Structure 1
Amino acid sequence: MSRLEVDQNQSNFVLDGKPFFYLGDTVWSAFTNITTEEWEYYLKKRKEQGFTVLQINTMPQWDRCASNQKLYPFATKDGYTFDFTRWDERYYENARKMCRMAVEKGFQLALVVLWLNHVPGTWGSRMIDDNVMPREMIRPYTEKIVEEFDEFHPVYVISGDTDFDTPQAVEYYNIALETVCEKSPLSLKTMHIKRGYDLIPEEFLDRIDFYMFQSGHNKEGQDMAYKLPESFREKYPEKPMINAEPCYEQMGYSRKAYGRFQQEDVRKAAWSSILSGACAGVTYGAHGVWNWQKINKPQNPVLGEGFDAPFPWQEALQFPGAWDYGLIRRILTDLRVRKLVPANELLENDTEEIRMAVSGDGRYFIYLPYSTRLSIRKELPDCTARAVDLENGRNADVESSVENGRTVLGMHPFQKDVLLIVEEMR
């Protein structure tokens, strides 16, 4: 089995020496909630849709839906509070079986080691502290994770949805990261951090291989999809970047605000991130898949964020946005795009919602939420331009002209968002 690596360009990944686009799905609750039969169907469907990576929590997701599985990583009397000194080997046996099924289908795994509610001094453990892991168990637990799962060559996501605002949180995650580096030196490591957050402690920077950020599920603040990669590019050494938790399709707006994110919203979050520097990949989420809502089970109350109720997983698995994310991978893979450098400074249009990047080989990629004329601060006299309808996959030629040292692109004929691909003739 091959191991995922960082490309020499420090912007993307390679697998077996070939470019690899990280198209992830958040199925955080897989190891506790999903039966073998359900998992088999899930893997088949996500493979058809074009996904390449599965993001799974190795601990029970704190806001998962109810399940009859009764599988937990530690001994427990009530299915809620754990005895961190006693493993439940049934859990790991089942989890390894699920991992084996996934890798046999061609998926890469991204396994979260320590979700924030198990770590003192995080926003999650301040909300609910019943299962904070004792400090002395961090290293044994992390060793256990590597021992059980390293044969599958996963990406190790050391933290889950966390902040690093206290010395305790930094210490816990430092122990976990140090342990994974020691026990699995060749694996890729990263940190999954909370919505709108861009702080990575300096002591972690030389030991993580790429950055994950989260534009999240607040209706206000969706501009984080492009502002966070801009911030990471400015503050930190160059490494691949991924929006590891953009708004999920049909997720209710957080803070109990009325409304749900639609297919077009999740497309916008993805392309806004990719063309702003996070071109290594992107992660999708469906409200009902990440927490695995079953038809005959009560809906989960969802701690903290106050989201509206999820859809049954069978319905959520079919949301149309999943196919749109598969199209992202196909477009960039078919065009052999290895690196995208943000280039919004070339656009004259007065809005940050339009995002632009260049590939370095005479191609310009522009995400356009609504049809309008565009002006590029560069003469491209013999360029070709086409608009890809991101909902239906249709293509249309777009007129271009050079005026006063600028290249002007005409309106495209589609009523929703498109990707404009402009190529210089060489």
Structure 2
Amino acid sequence: MKNMSIFFLVFISILPNSDVFSQRLFVTLGKTIIETETTEPFLWIGDTAWELFNDLTKEEVVSYLDNREEKGFTVIQATIMMGGFNQRNAYGDSIFLNMDPTRPNEKYFEYVDFVVDEAERRGMYMGLLPTWANNVVDRNGRGANFNVENAFNYGKFLSERYKDKPVIWILGGDRNVQTDQEYLIWKAMGKGLQSGVGGKNLISYHPTAPISSHFWFHNEPWLSFNIIQSGHFKKFQTEIYEFGMVFQQLIPIKPWVNAEPAYEDIPVLFWHFDDYSQFGKKKEDVIGEDGLIKDKDFFQHGFFDDYDIRIEAYWTFFSGGAGYTYGNNAIWQMYKPGTRYAVPCLNFWDEALDRPGAEDMRHVKKLFTRFPLGSFHVDQSVIYGTNFLDEDNIRAIVANDKSFILLYLNKGQEVSVNLSKLVGSGTASWYNPREGTIDEIGFVENKGIRLFDPPGEFGQHGNDWILILEAAQM
């Protein structure tokens, strides 16, 4: 059998009259990256659009995807069924007929088809959740949940419908597996996604924070790669690189993606502030007539901003991650004037599209296009001296052929580097992750220890830098 080492595949689809096409994706035993059919590394830079199928019209979808394509996003994560079995889209179409999961509504899925096709036209993949976990894990007494049989059949239906489309399946939905029954239902849905005529799309599982899918499903044959959620509970989420160290020790080795880091503009520990009365406030004291937050100081721990976004993105890739998914508090819930929200917002969804953290994704893509995934590995030994596992931790990657070294300095820390890790002498430069610019430092020899001190003041908010050391081309 040809190419026995490949064990998970996604589709290939070529659009007529278009120069954009989606290539098959796969992962290979022992590799930590996702690859295309031409064995090029796939750079997962995702955006979180959980409520897209609930709330957006076709015109809004086109506007949204245009914006994300222009910024370099490659994956859009959205949930086919965020609500219950009677969920409806912006056009009033329910997902199932008579709330029966064995009777998918063709009108609803024609809209899903439209979104998937529009993403494909822009060379993007859809990371689709078949359902949010509240339809498997009933903790509110709502009933009408999946069981093992209909979960399998629903997964098979989706697999066959999207067998030739740029779709990556993501089970779960912000839930950890707590009972045997939950495990069996997710396992059945995963098998269903594999059993259809297609059955070749990549599949993973999205847990809550700070947790990884490998806790339950690493050895399941349908789990192509692992997902972590680093979450929204603190700044400097060191769990990211700690999970990176764990994944290096798992057998078999599989890629991993940080699919829900802290969202830009969301309050830190937002769930602690659901009850305004506990803080001597009324809702109208905090939320304005337009439905947006007017008293930011009410949220005592502040908000995640673009600096937090960059730290989590670079910590992910500098810890061996195959992908990172950006999120914005208004965009994940597609919050519009006069509609409901799950977490109070600073902006409406369309106003949040160009927030600084989203703009910074351009520079993430620029860096890892120049230094592709798969061409390097994590190597902390390049750092000389103490490097504690705390919020000041410096991350280092080294080219497989030793032609470059990159170090991410999240606080503008000075760093001593063992230059013997370079294959030859060359140049040192500073990469500015806020602007995507490169400033050359000068010549470096590939021997000894050298101290590098980034521009700006150590510890200053937003003063993160990437040190690039490159051997001269022979």
TM-score grouping bracket, smaller chain normalisation: 0.7 to 0.9
**Residue identity in the other structure for 1:325:** M
Partner of 2:259: 244
**Is 1:312 matched up with 2:329?**
no
Instruction: Give the share of equivalent positions with the same residue, in percent.
Output: 26
Distance 1:4 1:369 in 2: 32
Is the Cα contact below 8 Å between 2:153 and 2:189 reproduced in 1? no
**Is 1:235 matched up with 2:250?**
yes
**Residue identity in the other structure for 2:387:** D
* Pick aligned residue for 1:14 from 19, 29, 35: 35
1:285-338, Cα deviation, whole Å (9 max, x unpaired):
11111110112x2341x2xxxx44352111111112112112111211123443
Is the Cα contact below 8 Å between 1:402 and 1:408 reproduced in 2? no
Partner of 2:288: none
Distance 2:430 2:246 in 1: 29
**Structure with greater Cα Rg:** 2
**Is 1:288 matched up with 2:330?**
yes
Is the Cα contact below 8 Å between 1:114 and 1:160 reproduced in 2? yes
Is the Cα contact below 8 Å between 1:32 and 1:70 reproduced in 2? no
Is the Cα contact below 8 Å between 2:148 and 2:184 reproduced in 1? no
Q: Which moved further from structure 2: 143-152 or 96-105?
A: 143-152
The aligned length equals 407
Partner of 1:272: 315
**Residue identity in the other structure for 1:252:** P
**Residue identity in the other structure for 2:307:** E
Distance 2:89 2:427 in 1: 54
1:227-270, Cα deviation, whole Å (9 max, x unpaired):
22222222342122111111111112233362210001011001
Shift of the 220–264 alpha-carbon distance from structure 1 to 2, 3 Å rule, reads: closer
SS at match of 1:420: strand
Q: Note the C-alpha offset of 1:349.
A: 3.8
Shift of the 361–250 alpha-carbon distance from structure 1 to 2, 3 Å rule, reads: same
Distance 2:236 2:411 in 1: 19
SS at match of 2:330: coil
**Is 1:422 matched up with 2:469?**
yes
**Is 1:99 matched up with 2:128?**
no
Partner of 1:357: 397
Distance 2:442 2:104 in 1: 64
SS at match of 1:288: helix
Distance 1:66 1:151 in 2: 25
Shift of the 7–84 alpha-carbon distance from structure 1 to 2, 3 Å rule, reads: closer
* Pick aligned residue for 1:108 from 113, 121, 125: 125
Q: Note the C-alpha offset of 1:46.
A: 0.5
**Residue identity in the other structure for 1:23:** I
* Pick aligned residue for 1:385 from 428, 440, 443: 428
**Is 1:344 matched up with 2:372?**
no
Shift of the 414–138 alpha-carbon distance from structure 1 to 2, 3 Å rule, reads: same
TM-score normalised by structure 1 residue count: 0.87
Q: Is there any run of 5+ residues in structure 1 with no aligned partner, and where?
A: 77-81
Is the Cα contact below 8 Å between 1:53 and 1:107 reproduced in 2? yes
Q: Note the C-alpha offset of 1:344.
A: 2.0
Distance 1:118 1:248 in 2: 24
Partner of 2:181: 168
> What is the correspondence of 1:10-409 to structure 2 with a 5 Å cutoff?
10-17=31-38, 18-60=40-82, 68-75=90-97, 82-120=99-137, 125-127=138-140, 129-183=142-196, 184-198=198-212, 199-201=214-216, 204-219=219-234, 222-254=237-269, 255-256=271-272, 258=299, 259-278=302-321, 280-295=322-337, 297-300=338-341, 302=342, 307-309=343-345, 311-347=347-383, 348-352=385-389, 353-362=393-402, 363-377=404-418, 379=420, 382-398=425-441, 406-409=448-451
Q: Note the C-alpha offset of 1:50.
A: 0.4
Is the Cα contact below 8 Å between 1:398 and 1:409 reproduced in 2? no
Is the Cα contact below 8 Å between 1:32 and 1:71 reproduced in 2? no
Distance 1:402 1:390 in 2: 25
Distance 1:66 1:218 in 2: 31
Shift of the 398–407 alpha-carbon distance from structure 1 to 2, 3 Å rule, reads: farther
SS at match of 2:332: coil
Distance 1:222 1:38 in 2: 33
Is the Cα contact below 8 Å between 1:96 and 1:148 reproduced in 2? no
Distance 2:139 2:152 in 1: 22
SS at match of 1:249: coil
Is the Cα contact below 8 Å between 2:163 and 2:200 reproduced in 1? no
Distance 1:157 1:386 in 2: 38
Q: Is there any run of 5+ residues in structure 2 with no aligned partner, and where?
A: 1-12, 14-22, 274-298, 458-462
Q: Note the C-alpha offset of 1:70.
A: 2.9
Is the Cα contact below 8 Å between 1:387 and 1:396 reproduced in 2? yes
Distance 2:355 2:68 in 1: 11
Distance 1:314 1:33 in 2: 12
Q: Which moved further from structure 2: 250-259 or 125-134?
A: 125-134
Shift of the 106–61 alpha-carbon distance from structure 1 to 2, 3 Å rule, reads: farther
Q: Which moved further from structure 2: 326-335 or 251-260?
A: 251-260
Shift of the 234–337 alpha-carbon distance from structure 1 to 2, 3 Å rule, reads: closer
Q: Note the C-alpha offset of 1:8.
A: 7.2
Distance 1:213 1:108 in 2: 19
Shift of the 384–221 alpha-carbon distance from structure 1 to 2, 3 Å rule, reads: closer
Shift of the 187–401 alpha-carbon distance from structure 1 to 2, 3 Å rule, reads: closer
Is the Cα contact below 8 Å between 2:72 and 2:365 reproduced in 1? yes
Q: Note the C-alpha offset of 1:126.
A: 2.6
